[in-house]
Structure 1
Amino acid sequence: MLIDIKDVPEKAQRIFVQLIDIFEEQDINPTPLNYYIWYQYYKGDHPKFRQEMDNALQDPFGYNDRLGRRLYDEYFSDEHSGNDFDRAFKRLINLVIKKMNVWSDKLEKHTQDLNQYTTSLASKDIDAETLKELTHSVLNTASSMKQSSEEFQQEMLNSNEEILRLRKELIEARAETLTDELTEVGNRKAFNHAIQDLADSTQDNPQSLVLILTDIDHFKRFNDTFGHLVGDSVLRYFANLMKKTRDDTETVCRYGGEEFAILLSHSSLEKAKERAESIRHSLEIAKLKRKDSEKTLGKITASFGLAVYKGEEHETLDEWIKRADDALYEAKNQGRNRIITDEELETAKPLK
């Protein structure tokens, strides 16, 4: 394999995570050359090249394969600098270009030969022996063209397999960058992506989005008593409890520390409260034990804050998150192991 995305610099991984979505959104062919051009564009190391790309993207015709090939030839084809990833990717691009050029030369030669045979066959003075020779030459050329075409198709298939392999690795790398290593649910970055996507996709009915913020009560005291390894096990258990019972309308992420976020789409405040209560109760009755002892860890509880999205015309995403966080804080303030909604906070506010 020419490239392993997991071994490339972190900056390159972040760039390619973006490119997967960009290529799908803008219907750009996922060729090695196009990946490399856009990788360099987001990498931002060539101001003149970046300016030309900016100008092209403002044009009604936008970016296309022909432009990518020209930009590659002009700015990168003779470049020897860069990291190992850059050089490996360029080897793949140059290999594909070389195969295309060889095929193009063969096709041009075959076309010239056929044109020459056509001219000879059109002659009025052609005799039977010459006709036989020309016919034989035409058949040989056609056979050679077929063989060249099959060889080229196989070479392109091999290159395409390399591209598909790279794409698979990019998708896997994106999944890794969006997954919390300890709990194996989404991380804070995944949460940021999800909340923005959901808010954008439900602008007509923002009230169908509900955010649940939850964290384990007295977790620091628990960590100090039993140690961080046991604390990590509790976090994994809590995450699995939410993950294994979720449905397709839920996104579970570790928001930070012992705090988790659940985004519910196509939902309501009532349904979200039922979901939060189910999680709260399941954790409360769980009897967790240390691996080296039959003694339980004692009762473990969590508090929950809920908020319904009002829509971008009425609040920012940060304001929505803050309302859920305020509700969670109030749940802690009222004694923990309970659920508080933003509506309850509004009702509890004193009249001015």
Structure 2
Amino acid sequence: MLLDIKDAPEKAQRIFVQLIDIFEEQGINPTPLNYFIWYQYYKGDHPKFRQEMDNALQDPFGYNDRLGRRLYDEYFADDDSGNDFDRAFKRLINLVVKRMNAWSDKLEQHTQELDHYTNTLSTQDMDAETLKELTHSVLNTASSMKKSSEEFHREMMDSNDEILRLRQELIEARAETLTDELTEIGNRKAFNNAIRDLVDEMQESPEQLVLILTDIDHFKRFNDSFGHLVGDSVLRYYANLMKKTKGDTETLCRYGGEEFAILLSHTDIEQAEQRAETIRHDIENAKLKRKDSEKNLGQITASFGVAAYRGEAQETIEEWIKRADDALYKAKTLGRNQVVTERDLEGTPQD
């Protein structure tokens, strides 16, 4: 294995996660060389190279594979600086470039030989024996070309496997940055990405985009009584409970601490309210025990705030989230273990 993305420094992993989307948006070939060039661009350690990239990106033709190859040869091919990951990355690129150059040299040699034979056939009168020898040479050259082509194909397939493995690791790395480690659902960053995407998607019918905020009641007191490890188990259980019944149009994320967010698209507020009520009922009726002692943990309840988006002409995303949070806060003040929608906020003084 020439390269393992898990060996990359944290900054490098963050850059590669960004590059997946950038390459898709701009139609850039996901080759190791292109990944390396763009990685160095965002890394920002070579001011002159970065300036040249900036100039190229302002050009109508933008970035292309040929430019990437030239920049690599000019700025990085003979540069031994960088960390272990950078050097491993360069070894992968150099291997691919070496294979391509070797194939190009062989192809040029075969082409010259065939040109020579063609000229010989067209300019000389020859007897049968000479023609036989020439034909034999042509066949040998053609056979050699075929063999070289097959070897190059195998080598590039090996390189392609390495490229595909690298891309898969980058995708997995991106998923890890958007996943909450404890509950294995989306984290706050995933929520921020999802809510922006859904707002763009639902511009024609913003009222069909609804946010549910929920958190576990008296969770701090629960943590103090049973310990953080048991508290973590309860958070995982609650996340799994919601995940098991999650619909196709739902996005589930851990918003922070014991608070969770559910984004529902193509849904009205009544349906979202019913969804919240179902979750509330399920957690209220759960029978949880400590694994180490089978001791009953008692009843666990949760509160919910529900708000539909009004559209960018009427409010910002932050204002929408605040309305859901205000509804959740009111559910707490009314005694917890209940669902409050934005309609219940009318006439309620807000901080």
Shared fold (TM-score greater than 0.5)?
Answer: yes
Counterparts of 1:26 and 1:59, CA distance in 2: 14
| SS of the residue 1:264 aligns to | strand
Classify the secondary structure of the residue corresponding to 1:263. Answer: strand
Matching residue of 1:136: 136
Aligned partners of 1:212 and 1:3: how far apart in 2? Answer: 42
Distance 1:40 1:124 in 2: 57
What is the aligned partner in structure 1 of residue 347 from structure 2?
348
Q: CA deviation at 1:122?
A: 0.5
What secondary structure sits across from 2:60 in the alignment?
coil
Letter in 2 for 1:348: G
**Alignment partner, residue 172 of structure 1:** 172
SS of aligned partner of 2:123 = coil
- Measured after TM superposition, the shift of residue 84 of structure 1 is 0.9
* Residue equivalent to 1:281: 281
Q: Is structure 2 residue 331 aligned with structure 1 residue 315?
A: no
**In structure 1, what is the Cα distance between the partners aligned to 2:242 and 2:116?**
74
Shift of 1:124: 4.3
Q: What is the distance in 2 between the residues matched to 1:53 and 1:196?
A: 29
Q: C-alpha displacement at 1:343, in angstroms?
A: 2.5
Secondary structure, counterpart of 2:322 in structure 1: helix
Output the CA distance in 2 between the equivalents of 1:56 and 1:344.
55
**Match of residue 152 from structure 1:** 152
Tell me by how many angstroms 1:199 deviates. Answer: 1.4
- Any idea what SS the aligned residue of 1:122 has? helix
Cα deviation 1:8-31 (Å, max 9, x = unaligned): 111111111111111122221111
Deviation at 1:253, TM superposition (A): 0.7
Query: Once the two structures are aligned, what percentage of the paired residues are identical?
Result: 79
Deviation at 1:6, TM superposition (A): 1.5
Measured in 1, the distance between the counterparts of 2:297 and 2:129 equals: 99
- Give me the whole-angstrom Cα distance separating, in 1, the residues matched to 2:50 and 2:196: 27
Q: Is 1:43 paired with 2:43?
A: yes
Q: Which residues in structure 2 correspond to 1:3-152 (within 5 Å)?
A: 3-152=3-152
Question: What are the ranges of 5 or more consecutive residues in structure 1 without an aligned counterpart?
Answer: none
CA distance, structure 2, for counterparts of residue 197 and residue 75 of structure 1? 37
Separation in 1, partners of 2:40, 2:323: 40
Deviation at 1:313, TM superposition (A): 2.7
| Counterpart amino acid of residue 284 in structure 1 | E
> 1:290 aligns to what SS in structure 2?
coil
- Please give the alpha-carbon distance, in whole angstroms, between the structure 2 residues aligned to 1:260 and 1:219: 13
Alignment of 1:294-309 (within 5 A): 294-309=294-309
CA deviations on 1:90-115 (whole Å, 9 max, x unpaired) are 10001100111111010001111110
Between 1:28-37 and 1:117-126, the stretch displaced more is 117-126
Q: Which amino acid aligns with 2:228?
A: H
| TM-score with structure 2 setting the length | 0.97
Q: Distance in 2 between matches of 1:43 and 1:343?
A: 48
- The within-5 A match list for 1:148-297 is 148-297=148-297
Which segment drifts farther, 304-313 or 224-233? 304-313
User: What amino acid sits opposite 1:271 in the alignment?
Assistant: Q
Which region of structure 1 is more displaced relative to structure 2, 127-136 or 233-242?
127-136
Further displaced range: 303-312 or 277-286: 303-312
- In the aligned structure 2, how far is the partner of 1:28 from the partner of 1:164? 15
Q: Report how far residue 314 of structure 1 moved.
A: 2.5
Rounded Cα–Cα distance in structure 2 between residues aligned with 1:209 and 1:45: 43
Q: How far did residue 349 of structure 1 move?
A: 4.0
What's the C-alpha RMSD, in Å, of the aligned pairs?
A: 1.2
Find the aligned partners of 1:294 and 1:162 in 2 and give their Cα distance: 49
Give distance in 2, aligned partners of 1:46 and 1:266.
47
Amino acid across the alignment from 2:165: R
Give 5+ residue unaligned stretches, structure 2. none
Alignment of 1:322-341 (within 5 A): 322-341=322-341
Post-superposition Cα deviations, 1:123-162, rounded to whole Å, max 9, x if no partner, equal 2422222211111111110110010011001100000000
Q: Deviations over 1:264-307 (max 9, x none)?
A: 11111111101100000001111111123343211111111111
SS of equivalent to 1:348 = coil
Paired residue total: 349
One-letter code of the match for 2:35?
Y
